[in-house]
Structure 1
């Protein structure tokens, strides 16, 4: 009984071993033993230069000062952090420019992601809002034909500056003034033409009178 079982066991082992060896010998065709995963490039840390950044809070279209500080090592004024609501910007002017009203301001020393300009009519309380990016320092408000209050607030993820901390009143220009000026100018021009015509008529009349007198004198002279 023992002599028969031993060869059967060995036969089973021989049948199993090639299958296991063949499976272990299979290799992924895309496998490359020399491949190493790329490493991310090291971050460049610029040393602190001690110089102020080339940044003006009133200049439009420039890179934010914290970004300049990270990239060049320059020094920004005391900016508040991202987790704090921004301070109020400084609204410098609300003026008529061509055919539109334009509001201009200077940025606060804060982390800012955008600005909101509000035009609030004084009599009715009606509001119109304009949302602008963090690099803007002016906003075109269009044609404002009512006495209004213009306010600008700075915004970030933590909140916004006080709504009434940076406001200026605006009184629309009298749209009839150019028409009145044109009418007055036209009337003055017409009056000048009339006076000039009268002077020319009188001058010609005097010349005719003088020539008539001269002819009569010539006829009265003895021949």
Structure 2
């Protein structure tokens, strides 16, 4: 080592130490590239899904009532997608649908790649309902008029942007149209009966 040039000595020391810095997203420490997979017990170095014996955890961000991915990683030694941590506001959830199920308006969404403690649903800008972090769907009762329905994720650092859809109560309109059509049909039938009765009287 004494006979080696000083820069070469530095390179040898670095290669022996094998140092690898914590990955960052947009230069913010403690965040991980979206979609990359990590071992939660050793998050210093990202692991390839095909590397070694590790596999991706059986975790779907759109599936409801799942065991948190970090718990699956600790128990099964599987890999979770990188997420933003609790000291940063979460990313926006992905609202998939807003539909009428016969008695309530039901929303379905997917979890963001973030630490989430709960979800808030708003209708027309007003908070309507809160749901736990495990839920990916929820009912908010009836909505009589056209309204913007949104869901946002929440954690200790704040709230996410909203993910929204316009809800149009088509089923209610169909019911109203059916009732009006039935009433008109009844009136026409009644009018026909009256006309027949008057014709018979005139014949007599």
Same fold (TM over 0.5): yes
Larger Rg: 1
Give 5+ residue unaligned stretches, structure 2: 1-40, 43-51, 194-204
Measure the CA separation in 2 of the matches of 1:75 and 1:54. 9
Report if aligned partners of 2:120, 2:127 keep a CA contact under 8 Å in 1.
no
* Over 4 Å off, 4+ runs: 181-188
Separation in 1 of the partners of 2:187 and 2:66? Answer: 51
Shift of residue 50, structure 1, vs aligned partner: 1.7
The aligned residue for residue 179 of structure 1 is 179
Work out whether 1:109 is the aligned partner of 2:113.
Answer: yes
Deviation at 1:180, TM superposition (A): 3.6
SS at match of 2:72: helix
Residue 147 of structure 1 is matched in structure 2 by: 146
* Match in the other structure for 1:204: none
The question of whether the paired residues in 2 share the 8 Å contact of 1:86 and 1:154 is answered with yes
Secondary structure of the structure 1 residue equivalent to 2:140? strand
User: By how many angstroms is 1:182 displaced?
Assistant: 4.3
- Matched positions, count: 139
TM-score, normalised via structure 2 length? 0.60
1:118 aligns with 2:122: yes
Matched, 1:88 2:92: yes
What is the rounded CA distance, in whole Å, between the counterparts of 2:69 and 2:184 in structure 1?
A: 53
Gaps of at least 5 residues in structure 1 are 1-44, 195-223
1:168 and 2:172 are equivalent in the alignment = no
The separation in 2 between residues aligned to 1:68 and 1:187, in whole angstroms, is 65
* Deviation (angstroms), 1:168: 0.5
**Offset, 1:178:** 3.2
Report the structure, 1 or 2, having the larger helix content.
1
Residue by residue over 1:10-29, the C-alpha shift from the partner in whole angstroms, topping out at 9 and shown as x without a partner, is xxxxxxxxxxxxxxxxxxxx
RMSD of equivalent CA atoms: 2.6
* TM-score, normalised with respect to structure 1: 0.55
